[in-house]
Amino acid sequence: MSKYLPIGADHAGFQLKATLINHLQSKGYEIEDFGCYSEDSIDYPDFGHPVASKVEENAGTLGILICGSGNGINMTANKHQGVRSALCWKTEIAQLAREHNNANIIAIPARFVSTEEAIEMVDMFLSTEFEGGRHERRVNKIACA
């Protein structure tokens, strides 16, 4: 798996994004930060689309998105045909998203998880491989095109 990670967040996820970037850089990841860069109110699609585009354009790349509930930025990412973004709030969800759904973006609800939970979820997401097999058939039916 690539050590390159695009990451983006809205204002509600700004602080958690900064913490995750430090954590991931300490593990040797090359981070591309698509913002936002403060807690000033912004529109989550402006930061979700660039991350989703990077993942869509670069096979094998995983991405991280963060907003208050995780929902808006997750919906934004999933508008991209090559993206399977998973809203995760527990480590087990992050693991299953990779194993069963071959998710390539984790969307985190900053207002509903602790920093420790977010770190654990991201670590699990990045270290878990897609199982393939019966799941491959199902994943291949997700796209509309």
Q: Reading across the β-sheet that carries 85-87, which strands appear in turn?
A: 30-33, 4-9, 63-67, 105-109, 85-87
pLDDT in tens, 88-100: 999 999 999 999 9
User: HSE of 62 in the Cβ direction (CA atoms, 13 Å)?
Assistant: 24
- 0.85 exceeded by the pTM? yes
Question: Distance (Å, rounded) from C-alpha 44 to C-alpha 116?
Answer: 23
Query: Helix or strand or coil: residue 1?
Result: coil
Confidence bin at 1 (pLDDT 50/70/90) = low
Please name the residues in contact with 101: beta carbons below 8 A apart, sequence gap of 6 or more: 84, 86, 135, 139
Question: Per-residue pLDDT for 67 more than 70?
Answer: yes
Domain boundaries, the chain: 4-139
Closest listed residue to residue 119, CA positions, set 54, 23, 55, 28: 23
Fold annotation for 4-139: Ribose 5-phosphate Isomerase B; Chain: A, (3.40.1400)
Active site residue 144: no
Catalytic-role residue among 36, 49, 67, 80: 67
Mean pLDDT of the chain: 96
Length of the chain: 145
pLDDT in tens, 6-46: 999 999 999 999 999 999 999 999 999 999 999 999 999 99
